[in-house]
Amino acid sequence: MEILVWIGAAATVAGIAGILWSVALVLRARRAGLDDAAMRARMARALPVNVAALLLSILGLLSVLMGVLLG
């Protein structure tokens, strides 16, 4: 079950990197001083990335937990 722990750890790291990337997208959009419609468009592009990264991170942590409990 050690391989499950390592795969889960890699998925968690990738998920956290995705979350940080989406935060960087939003911060760049805020600093650009866009109008309301443009800001909403940028946020709409960043939201699916954020949700997918959060899901990947959660699944990775669950995989690590299962690997530890089963191993």
For the stretch 29-69, pLDDT in tens is 999 988 999 999 999 999 999 999 999 999 999 999 999 99
Structure tokens at 39: 């800001």
- For the whole model, what pTM was predicted? 0.86
Output DSSP code: residue 32.
T
DSSP one-letter string for 42-55:
HHHHHHHHHHHHHH
Contact by Cβ (8 Å): 61, 19 = no
pLDDT of residue 71: 85
**What are the respective helix, strand and coil percentages of the chain, to the nearest 5?**
90, 0, 10
Structure tokens at 1: 């079950």
pLDDT of residue 34: 87
pLDDT of residue 53: 97
